[in-house]
Amino acid sequence: MAKKVVPEEARRRRRPTRSGSVLTERVIVETALRMLREHGSAGLSARRLGAALGADPSTLYRYFAGMDALTLAIGEELIGRALAGWAPTGDWQGDLRGLGLRIHGAYLDHPQAALLTAGRVTGRPREIAADEAILGILRSAGFPDRDAVRIYHVFIDQSLAFAALDAGALALAADSREADEEMWESTYARLPANRYPHIAATAGFLAERMTRSAYPAALDMLLASATAELDRPGGPPAPGGGPGPARRPNATRP
**How many residues make up the chain in this entry?**
254
Residue 59, pLDDT score:
87
pLDDT digits (tens, 9 = 90+) for 165-197: 999 999 999 999 999 999 999 999 999 999 999
Residue 119, pLDDT score:
94
Residue 252, pLDDT score:
42
Residue 232, pLDDT score:
85
Residue 13, pLDDT score:
46
Residue 235, pLDDT score:
62
CA separation for the pair 35, 161 (Å, rounded): 23
Residue 49, pLDDT score:
92
Q: What is the pTM of this model?
A: 0.81
CA separation for the pair 130, 82 (Å, rounded): 9
Intervals of the chain under pLDDT 70:
1-21, 234-254
Residue 253, pLDDT score:
39
CA separation for the pair 115, 215 (Å, rounded): 16
Residue 228, pLDDT score:
96
Residue 240, pLDDT score:
45
Cα 200 to the chain's mean position, in Å? Answer: 35
Q: Which residue segments constitute the domains of the chain, with CATH numbers given?
A: 1-65 (1.10.10.60), 89-254 (1.10.357.10)
DSSP 143-158: --HHHHHHHHHHHHHH
